[in-house]
A and B are shown apart, each in its own frame.
Chain A
Amino acid sequence: MTGGSGGLAGAGRDPGLQPERTRLAWRRTGLALSLVTALAVRLGSTGEPTDTLIAGVAVLVWGAALVLCWPRGTGTGPARAGGRTLPLVALATVALALLGALLVVRGLW
């Protein structure tokens, strides 16, 4: 493991199944995002136009995050590590948290 070959050539013979495990981790994350979005939509289903709008934005954020996660959760070869996807999916998580906080605070009046 110490060589640092950096190549993807031997990926198919990795006994640790690292690409497979990484794909499954992405799928679990997509699933968690979906659950959180479902909870946000339920919280936003009050009939108030503002709440509906916030819930709608949460669904858009969820859709964008899933589109980002998809290529990493599927595919056959090992996903290319790193890249912009990771900070963007984290940004989607932050956005969902802030939209949820907005819904909670809005419910106070």
Chain B
Amino acid sequence: MWEAIRRWFDPRDLRSVGEPPDYRFSLANERTFLAWLRTGLALVGGGLAAAQFLPPLPLTHLREVIAVALLLLGATVAVRAVDHWARNERAIRLGQELPASRFPAVLALTIGAGAVLLVIAVLARAVGAS
């Protein structure tokens, strides 16, 4: 694992495999990475906003749990963005198929499940208040 992390920070290692690709492919890969990074930043921003703009919730520390969960999810998305970028670049240079990934589906299901839980919490609160 540490070897893989060291490789992310070593551009020479990445350039040592395969053929130099059409620069447009590399730039497209870079933009994909940036789009993922902004997705991660949006989650981090959401976590920071939840921590300071949500009113205290009926369950103890639920607000803090939501905030930390979003922050950690954002950090995970950022790390995974680097990993996927490096693996894409390698595949492009070697003329192989781009690596498949379950991550987008898992992320979408996680966020969807979180949203459904929050809807239930809001409805339960509305029913409890009336």
A78 and B98 CA atoms in complex are apart in Å by 24
What number of A residues sit within 8 Å (CB to CB) of B?
50
Choice from A6, A86, A96, A108 contacting B44 with Cβ under 8 Å: A96
**A83 near B11 (CB under 8 angstroms)?**
yes
Chain A 11-44, CB within 8 Å of chain B: the 1/0 string?
1001010110110011011001101100110110
**A81 near B30 (CB under 8 angstroms)?**
yes
Q: How large is the interface on B (under 10, 10 to 19, 20 to 34, 35 or more residues)?
A: 35 or more
Which chain B positions have C-beta within 8 A of A29? 34, 37-38, 41
A2 and B25 CA atoms in complex are apart in Å by 10
State whether the Cβ of B72 lies closer than 8 Å to any Cβ in chain A: yes
Choice from B9, B23, B37 contacting A81 with Cβ under 8 Å: B23
A88 and B78 CA atoms in complex are apart in Å by 11
Closest to A69 in B: B34
**B9 near A87 (CB under 8 angstroms)?**
yes
SS class, residues of chain A in contact with chain B:
helix
A84 and B79 CA atoms in complex are apart in Å by 14
The verdict on A107 contacting B64 (CB below 8 Å), with A84-B11, A86-B85 known, is yes
Counted as pairs of residues, one from A and one from B, with CB atoms less than 8 Å apart, the total is 146
State whether the Cβ of B114 lies closer than 8 Å to any Cβ in chain A: no
Which chain B positions have C-beta within 8 A of A90? 33, 37, 40, 78-79, 81-82
The verdict on A101 contacting B68 (CB below 8 Å), with A25-B35, A36-B45, A90-B78 known, is yes
Which chain B positions have C-beta within 8 A of A94? 75, 78-79
Which chain B positions have C-beta within 8 A of A14? 24
State whether the Cβ of A52 lies closer than 8 Å to any Cβ in chain B: no
**A93 near B35 (CB under 8 angstroms)?**
no
State whether the Cβ of B51 lies closer than 8 Å to any Cβ in chain A: yes
Which chain B positions have C-beta within 8 A of A2? 22
A62 and B106 CA atoms in complex are apart in Å by 29
What is the CB-to-nearest-CB distance from A66 to chain B, in angstroms, rounded to a whole number? 13
Instruction: Give B contacts to A, CB under 8 Å.
Output: 8-11, 14-15, 19-31, 33-35, 37-38, 40-42, 44-45, 47-49, 51-52, 61, 64, 67-68, 71-72, 74-75, 78-79, 81-82, 85, 89, 95
